[in-house]
Structure 1
Amino acid sequence: MTVHDLVTLLPTPDVLRDRCRALPLLDTVLAPYAPLHDFSPAWAEGVAVARMDNGSGDEYAIVFDPAGVLLLGFDHECDATPWRIRPRAHWPGLLDGLPAGLARHTADPAFLFDGFLDATVCVWREPGDDAWRCGPVAFGPDASAEPDGAERLFELVTDGTGGAYTAYAEDIHELSVDRAAVSAVLAGSPLERATVLALSPTADLAAVAARARSLGFPVADDMRAA
């Protein structure tokens, strides 16, 4: 899978935003001391940002801006890494065609490392678009099976069934995870006490409710008193 497949698998911006709220909430329940995902609903005026950092050099940022949505991903070991040459350089075509209203985020110091945007995947969608877009990147016959890291980076946001996150959580945290509960959270349903307890019988309900509210995630009546 490459960025060209990713643009066909991403959901609409509204659904994507809901999933980006859900992932850090799931992390809060299952791994409160080692969250992989974050979502800042008020990153800047009118701008929300979802982030992932796996602690091993791979990360992404998804920017929700009035000018559209921008996905930036970095897989440090893939063929398209800017570190393949010195000085660092993006894979040819990666940022080509990126609208100016979204391109400004590629210069945001929060997304730079030593003054450079480390990115191997770039996808965007402007208001009114009916599809996601990417630059004219191409990979030769000798490229690896996943030359830009698109699948490894964005599998959890493209899968709305709960299966991908459940498999990830069971592998990383070495515990059994209730897939139906994961699916309910990913669907953006108001968070219920039963859902939280199905995921973790020992969860701190008050902390989970507080985290949900900070993410802008809807909370059911039986969690409001938690």
Structure 2
Amino acid sequence: MTAHDVARALPDLPTLRERCRVFAMTDAVLSPEWDYRYFSFNQHWAPDQQMASMRNGSGDEWSIVFSPAGAFLRGFDHEARMSPYGNDGKLWPGLVDTVPEALRFGVDEPAFSNSLGTLAATVCLWRETGDDHWHTGQVDLPDDDDPDGSAWLFELLLGGTAAVYQDFAEDYYEMPVDLDAVIEIFQQRPLTDGLVRRLNPEVALSDLAQDIAQIGYPAL
């Protein structure tokens, strides 16, 4: 799988945004400490912008910025052949050259840059509002089994179901995860104290007030 496969498989913008939101909310319940979470969502990332993100704790990550103009997605696999670290510190040719001006805020965002000021990315995709598909740059992919990291970076995002998430979470957080509770969150049912404690008995609904506000998830 490469960025071209991801572009064909990603859903439309509203569906993707809500998928990212429920991933982040479920993670917040399972992992009260933000630094140890895999998925996050900030509906107040910047004026008129929301950001979904993934960090695996080993230097690999992705970010999706949603704006009125559309969405910009960048993923970074530090071991991928297309990493700037294996390309004299430069982005892979063609990776972001054709990003439309309305979405270039993602390319220039300092928070997405490495210590050299280069965008930390091995894969980039974008989709303008009203467009009917996702786009990638005009890139000559190197001969490698997973040249840009797409084969694993977006596996959960593309799977998108409660069962896929539960399987991941039990392995990542090393704890049992109630599938029915995950399903309720993926259906965006309002959080209750009972629902929260079914997922994590050590967390109460009141503990999540700041996360709920940041993610923008409904709660009673």
Q: TM-score, normalised by structure 2?
A: 0.90
Counterpart residue number, 1:53: 55
Q: Secondary structure at the match of 1:23?
A: helix
Q: Secondary structure at the match of 2:104?
A: helix
Counterpart residue number, 2:179: 179
Q: Secondary structure at the match of 2:154?
A: helix
Tell me if structure 2 keeps the 8 A contact 1:160–1:186.
no
Distance 2:138 2:24 in 1: 32
Tell me if structure 2 keeps the 8 A contact 1:74–1:118.
yes
Counterpart residue number, 2:24: 24
- Gapped regions of structure 1 (runs ≥ 5): 222-226
User: Aligned-residue CA RMSD in angstroms?
Assistant: 1.8
Q: Secondary structure at the match of 1:183?
A: helix
Q: 1:122 aligns with which of 118, 121, 124?
A: 124
Shift of 1:209: 4.4
Distance 1:198 1:204 in 2: 10
Tell me if structure 2 keeps the 8 A contact 1:81–1:119.
yes
Tell me if structure 2 keeps the 8 A contact 1:25–1:208.
no
Q: Say if 2:37 is the partner of 1:38.
A: no
Shift of 1:210: 4.1
Tell me if structure 1 keeps the 8 A contact 2:96–2:107.
no
Q: Secondary structure at the match of 1:39?
A: strand
Tell me if structure 1 keeps the 8 A contact 2:191–2:205.
no
Q: Secondary structure at the match of 1:38?
A: strand
Distance 2:182 2:80 in 1: 29
**Would the alpha carbon gap of residues 22 and 95 (structure 1) be closer, same or farther in structure 2, given more than 3 Å must change?**
same
Matches within 5 A, 1:1-226: 1-33=1-33, 34-86=36-88, 88-114=89-115, 115-140=117-142, 142-144=143-145, 146-219=146-219, 221=220
Total equivalences in the alignment: 217
Distance 1:96 1:38 in 2: 28
- Gapped regions of structure 2 (runs ≥ 5): none
Q: Secondary structure at the match of 2:59?
A: coil
Q: Deviations over 1:84-121 (max 9, x none)?
A: 122x1222321132101111321121111121101011
Q: Deviations over 1:15-62 (max 9, x none)?
A: 111122222221221121221222221121111111222221101111
Identity of aligned residues (%): 42
Distance 1:179 1:148 in 2: 32
Distance 1:64 1:133 in 2: 15
Distance 1:162 1:100 in 2: 36
**Would the alpha carbon gap of residues 210 and 108 (structure 1) be closer, same or farther in structure 2, given more than 3 Å must change?**
closer
**Would the alpha carbon gap of residues 32 and 2 (structure 1) be closer, same or farther in structure 2, given more than 3 Å must change?**
same
